[in-house]
Structure 1
Amino acid sequence: MRIGLQVPSFSYPDGPQAIGPVFGQIARDADQAGLHSLWVMDHFFQIRGVGEPEEPMLEAYSALSYAAALTERITLGVLVSGVVHRYPAVLVKTVTTLDVLSGGRAWLGIGAAWNEEECRALGIPFPLLAERFERLEETLQITHRMWSGDQSPYEGTHYRLERPLNSLPPLRRPHPPILIGGSGEKKTLRLVAKYADACNFLGGPAELLHKLDVLREHCAREDRPFEEIEKTSTSRLSLDSSVGEIVDGLGQLAELGFDQVIHSLADVRDPRASVALLGQVAEEAGSW
């Protein structure tokens, strides 16, 4: 079982001047603790359930580039990039750059996007859900084309590329893993089966098991080995939990078929405690 860390909030007690040093320390601590992955959200405003829109929020890929310079082993990803936030080829170039500069440690996390409020506020076009999924599939097709070195023109419904050149290519082979976030059974999981290297789910054991069954069915229809896809789940870490309790929960997820659990940072006032706890969990869970 691999252990990841998501940093969803930058509202540190000492204000904006603390964001760089504190986030940098979180990244270094997570790297040294042996965690597998470090993630930030692709939002421009803070989201409901975490805080108020006016709270501090970093641009995702700038933040990960900063973290890459401070770390050596931990993989780096956005959970997940909203498909409407960037042109597909620009997103591929951005993730490629992160991969090259980090020594081959980047992920491409991507999804159909959901936060209409921040998009409207900042002038980002936010089409209806059906079109967002069309754009998501075209983006995945463009991504595979560019990372395979295919420079032939791409003609889609929403995107047209005359020459999808990506030079230089990513270091990670065959390419940075593509993780699709979301658990919609008709569209999202079909795209996972067809294009992705990993998926990310939320929910309790019964719901998670059901989603895996649906994904398995999509893989069968796409003639794709179900085992090829890394199954990840996101969970909120509680500092009140013991290492043993967390490890037991991970064991249950491992029995369901999950490969990685990404824990959302528990306490923005004491992030080092959260990372230290996860380091102990990673050490214990590494025997599986």
Structure 2
Amino acid sequence: MKLGLQVSRFSFPDAPASTGATWRAIARDADAAGLASLWVMDHFFQIAMVGPPEDDMLEGYATLAHAAAVTERIELGTLVTGVTYRHPGVLLKTVTTLDVLSGGRAWLGIGAAWNEEEHRGLGVPYPSTRERFALLEDTLELAHRMFADDDSPFEGDAVALERPLNRPQPVRRPPIMVGGGGERRTLRLVAQYADACNLFDTGLGPEGVPHKLEVLRGHCADVGRDYDEISKTCLAALTLDTGAPLPSGVHGHSVDEAVERLGRLGAAGIDHVILSTANTTDPAAYDRVAEVVRQVS
């Protein structure tokens, strides 16, 4: 099993003056702890399940590029980009740039978008669900072409590109992760186009993850895709206890408790767990993270 880290809160102490230094420390600590991946949300306002919209939120790709400059090994991605935020060709150029500058460590994490509040707030068009999924499928198809140096004209259901030129090419074709567990459309798109799915551990219950993966297996059979080619990832809220104070309502776990929970996810079919923790700025947490990485790997 691989472990990653998602950072979803940027209202650091003494921010914004401290934000750059704090983010660099998080990225370095995550890399040194042996985590396989580092993720940020791709939002412009903080989302309601984390905090009020006025909380600090950084633009995802600039944030990942900054992390790339101070790390050596850890892979980098958004969890996940709403397909409406950037024109597909520009998005794929942006991900390619991150890949080139990081030496082949970028992921394309993408989904159909959902946060209407930030769309309205910043004047970003928010089309219907049907239109967003059409745009998502076009973007996924286009990613395979642009990452393979195919600049022939592209005519999709939602977008048309005369010449999707993408130079330089990625150092490594960025793996494609489609976020969400929608059984009819989202998991079908995973089977057709993606290298990884991403589910949410919280709220699915003990049978939820295996059920979603069985649905994915069925879609793979339908489209002739090898189910085992797809990485099964999930986001899990799990904070390791260091003895330092934690936010109200957050339970700190021991290393043994964390390993036991991750073992259950592994038994359910998950091979890459992305941790959402409440103490990303606590350097002591990364010593415990490193031990968890050692035990689960």
Q: Does 1:227 align with 2:228?
A: yes
Superposition pairs for residues 1-288 of structure 1, below 5 Å?
Answer: 1-172=1-172, 175-202=173-200, 203-239=204-240, 240-267=252-279, 270-286=281-297
Contact kept? 2:41, 2:80, Cα under 8 Å: yes
Does the 8 A contact of 1:3 with 1:282 survive in 2?
A: yes
- AA aligned to 2:197 is C
CA distance in 2, matches of 1:158, 1:208: 32
Q: Secondary structure at the match of 1:40?
A: strand
C-alpha distance after superposition, 1:194-230 (max 9, x if no partner)? 0000000013331111000000000000100000000
Deviation per residue, 1:215-260 (Å, 9 max, x gap): 0000000100000000001011223211111111111111111110
Per the alignment, do residues 155 and 81 of structure 1 end up closer, same or farther by CA in structure 2, a change over 3 Å counting?
A: same
Unmatched tracts of structure 2, length 5 or more: 241-251
Report deviation, 1:43.
Answer: 0.3
The count of residues paired between Structure 1 and Structure 2 equals 283
Q: Distance in 1 between matches of 2:287 and 2:197?
A: 26
One-letter amino acid of the counterpart of residue 278, structure 1: V
Equivalent AA in structure 2 for residue 60 of structure 1: G
* Aligned partners of 2:239 and 2:276 also within 8 Å: no
Structure 1: which amino acid aligns with 2:123? G
Question: Counterpart of 2:246?
Answer: none
* Aligned counterparts of 1:127 and 1:108: Cα–Cα separation in 2: 22
TM-score, length-scaled by structure 2: 0.93
Give the % identical residues: 58
Asked which structure has the greater RCO (Cα within 8 Å, sep 6+), the reply is: 1
Deviations 1:44-73 (A, max 9, x none): 000111111001100000000000000000
Which deviates the most, 109-118 or 201-210?
Answer: 201-210
Task: Give, as a single letter, the amino acid of the residue that structure 2 aligns with 1:259.
Answer: D
| CA–CA separation in structure 2 for the residues paired with 1:227 and 1:118 | 37
Q: Secondary structure at the match of 1:68?
A: helix
Q: Which moved more, 1:20-29 or 1:149-158?
A: 149-158
Q: Write the distance in 2 (CA, Å) between the matches of 1:117 and 1:274.
A: 34
Please tell me whether the aligned partners of residues 82 and 110 of structure 1 are also in contact (alpha carbons under 8 angstroms). Answer: yes
CA distance in 2, matches of 1:132, 1:36: 30
Partners of 1:273 and 1:91 lie apart in 2 by 36
User: Which amino acid is the alignment partner of residue 5 of structure 2?
Assistant: L
Three-state SS of the structure 1 residue aligned to 2:253 is coil
Structure 1 consecutive aligned stretches of length 4 or more whose deviation exceeds 4 Å: none
Q: Which runs of 5+ in 1 are unaligned?
A: none
Amino acid at match of 1:26: I
TM-score, with length taken from structure 1: 0.96
SS in 2 for 1:51: coil
Q: Tell me which amino acid in the other structure corresponds to 1:192.
A: V
Quote how far apart the aligned CAs of 1:36 are.
Answer: 0.2
The answer (yes or no) to whether the contact 1:265–1:271 under 8 Å persists in 2 is: no
State the 1:272 CA deviation. Answer: 2.4
Q: 1:271 deviation in Å? A: 3.3
Structure 2 SS opposite 1:273: helix
Q: Deviation digits for residues 73-105 of structure 1, max 9, x if unmatched?
A: 000000000000001111111010000100100
CA distance in 2, matches of 1:275, 1:119: 35
Asked if 2 retains the 8 angstrom alpha-carbon contact of 1:3 and 1:278, the reply is: no
**Structure 1 vs Structure 2 CA RMSD:** 1.0
Deviations 1:98-140 (A, max 9, x none): 0010010000000000000000110000001111001000011
**What is the CA distance between 1:18 and its match in structure 2?**
1.2
Write the distance in 1 (CA, Å) between the matches of 2:15 and 2:58: 13
The residue aligned with 2:247 is none
